[in-house]
A and B are shown apart, each in its own frame.
Chain A
């Protein structure tokens, strides 16, 4: 066989990887199907795919793949004929074949023994086939040719026997309808970006068209001016015409008289013509306005559509997960069901790709460390099969992914010891850290090392790599641990990396965009206390002093800093390391979603600049790099910025011993309140609803409880009632926070026993701090 051209091979690899993906997915579906399900169509489908793979492999001379696919097809056909059952052993053999093919597709030449062993397994199942497998030596199976396991014998056991490790996971829709039929075409991302650029160009064209309309209106203005002039000379025109019509005068003028009459006639016609033209202008202007409006709508839709083309359902990365969980569960002798929720949520392809590895790692971690072996589960009063729930939900511009298991949870004590041992925290720190803080140490680099990790999970990456990935996606990651009941890993990532919500600020005569996720607070001078340290202004907020700098100065722009008045807007920004700096700006303009664009290739990395974006007007705006800004600002200050940590000391010891429980179902609110309170020196634990709050209250005493009113399951009123009605907690001050502000709600809250009632307002945390302080003293 001659070597096929490279292009053909390239196409083959793309095709092959699609077949592999489909085979993996369908095989898993077949395996988890119940004995009564009619899987004939699915079996036909999978047999057809194996057949196509065989044909394609033959066409490009990939003989190993061809032979494997060939034998797989045989196995499927036998199953279809009813002479072979898809027992776990059969499936193992098939998965092994897929792995070998995957390996070859990945550019690795498999060693001949492995190939023969795998082929042998398949031969053992399908029986020798005509000439091809005639050589007797190859027929030896590495594993004994599976005595068909009695997997689906009905009535044999009370509990349906499942292939170890896997229970139905993907919804049946994904099982029976492999998505192969739709007409599709592959498009490179750069082409899509180009389309996006052209769509925004269209917007500019529309603006030009607006300009044309203004030109037209100016023309109409001109007409009106002409009309005024014409009216002024109109009486002269009429007089002249009348006089000329008098034959006596014409004869007096001779030849010139006739010319004059012609000219006057023309003047009359022109005047009519002009007024007619003006009516046309008016109509044209109206139509043009209509067209522009239409065009605007179309451009908006076009931009949204192009953006959505980049989006893929989460489902597209699921295949590998199911397979991995299945394999790992079998290897570790556990029973694990992977339940997926929200597989149809769509994400930008790039974000999706970047999520794949971290999720794979978290899942692996959950199977390996989270879920207990069946006997231990039963002993703990749980059902033998552990469940891992992978759920994906869309929250505005963010995607919330969580991996929750019902295993043993994370043992904070073990984490604590480990962290001390590897030197992440000192012995003394241990007491000051909350259990949540201890638990989050598992994301620290250097936490996981080989001696505490089993062979399975320790594949080179620790959870710190997961954290790095999530940070690169500008996302957030945390773990929600319930000892004995399981652990849940939560990730929040933006739907799209290129779309970014920003605050637009004016600095001098220029505008800049600041990613909203890096803005801690927006205040004015009144919101904090300004003081000087060695002639450099600082601002103290919630007892935390931070440098106060003009954004224009950090950006090295030649604008003078605005005078600090009561209304001067200030942005408090934070870096990933949670350092804060207060930046003075000239004016806060708006909040806007932008599409982040790279600068030219020559500007690979410009300090303080994250990229750029094109505004609706077609103008470019620079998107700033917050971590850089903070470094620049602090560097400019030298050590001065670090010095005034001292004033905090006065108040900290007092608050340090105060515990506050924050209850809110919204993560944002929870985090915001936690940050505010912690910044003021309090120690904070959080709960997501009333139930969790009551459980947390059992753990330790609290000085104040701050709870939201609107929460699922048990709302704030009910929680207040439960807490205040319980002798253990009736003296704990209870603050209700709500966006509802009606006298009846207030009354209801106070009747429920709440000590204070706070109405949520944007960015106003002083009130929260004041109320909490009042409660404590």
Chain B
């Protein structure tokens, strides 16, 4: 606490304001109780876990996608992306994450879905895909959702270029199959001149 705070004659101030100190303490108590409640680990519901997919939901080009949470390593809110020359356009560049250089992948372009208008600051979701790590570009990261597995149906739109999709949820979330994505040969660049 800053010394200035301790110099304040709070007792006098409260008295002059006719402050109800008891209710003030109640506020603290209520806050403590609330903090305790949030700090407690969530109740394990094995039934729940088996039937649902925990996934990070993000938005990219007016479409919502979900990445299974087990693949997500971290998010980068204001990435400084360095463009990388002479690679396909789905590689947006590279970023520095804790001293490691990680490639930024735009799934939209990877799937050859036209992109109209870019957000000013994209967000990145760093995922572990097989043996390596990639940063997936998002316009916005929305929430960590639990999607009932029963609601995820295989994509019926096969053929329009949506490879590596585990399925689509009832409310239109495209669930990305990270494992399958990590094996796509198009991700590997070996361009010897």
Contact = CB atoms under 8 A, between A and B. Distances in A.
Nearest to B103: A600
A555 B85 contact: yes
A604 B189 contact: yes
A604 B101 contact: no
B142 interface: no
A599 B192 contact: no
A261 B16 contact: yes
Nearest to B7: A276
B22 interface: no
B101 A618 contact: no
A273 B192 CA distance: 68
A607 B83 CA distance: 14
B13 A266 contact: yes
A46 to B, nearest CB: 44
Contacts of A618: 80, 96
A631 B86 CA distance: 14
A262 B18 CA distance: 9
B76 to A, nearest CB: 12
Interface stretch (B32-40, B57-65, B116-124, B130-138): B130-138
A599 B80 CA distance: 16
Interface string A627-646: 01001100100000000000
A698 to B, nearest CB: 47
Contacts of B18: 259, 262
A279 B13 CA distance: 22
A600 B190 contact: no
B17 A266 contact: yes
Given A612-B101, A619-B96, A277 B2 contact: yes
Interface in A247-294: 259, 261-263, 265-266, 269, 272-273, 276-277, 279-280
B85 A599 contact: no
Interface in B148-193: 187-193
Nearest to A552: B85
Given A266-B17, A269-B9, A620-B82, A606 B87 contact: yes
B102 interface: yes
Nearest to A511: B82
A197 B98 contact: yes
Contacts of B98: 197-198, 201
B84 A600 contact: no
B133 to A, nearest CB: 7
A555 B86 contact: yes
Contact of B101 (A194, A196, A277, A598): A598
B3 A280 contact: yes
Q: How large is the interface on A (under 10, 10 to 19, 20 to 34, 35 or more residues)?
A: 35 or more
A619 B134 CA distance: 17
Interface residues of B, number: 40
Interface in A191-249: 194, 196-201, 204
Contact of A280 (B4, B99, B100, B187): B4
A417 interface: no
Interface string A580-610: 0000000000000000011111111111110
A546 interface: no
Contact of B8 (A196, A273, A604): A273
A505 to B, nearest CB: 13
Nearest to A275: B4
Nearest to B84: A622
Contacts of B131: 601
A269 B84 CA distance: 59
Given A266-B17, A607-B191, A276 B95 contact: no
A629 to B, nearest CB: 9
Given A197-B98, A556-B85, A622-B85, A607 B4 contact: no
Contact of A196 (B99, B191, B192, B193): B99
A476 B82 CA distance: 32
A614 B99 contact: yes
A145 interface: no
B133 A600 contact: yes
A602 B189 contact: yes
A556 B2 CA distance: 57
Interface in B9-37: 9, 12-13, 16-18
Nearest to B80: A619
Contact of B193 (A194, A555, A602, A607): A607
A553 B40 CA distance: 57
B94 interface: yes
A605 B13 contact: no
Interface of A: 194, 196-201, 204, 259, 261-263, 265-266, 269, 272-273, 276-277, 279-280, 510, 555-557, 597-609, 612, 614, 618-622, 628, 631-632, 635
9 contacts: A266-B17, A269-B13, A276-B4, A276-B7, A599-B103, A600-B132, A602-B134, A607-B192, A612-B94
Interface of B: 2-5, 7-9, 12-13, 16-18, 80, 82-87, 91, 94-96, 98-103, 131-134, 187-193
3 closest A-B pairs (Cβ-Cβ)?
A: A197-B99, A276-B4, A262-B16
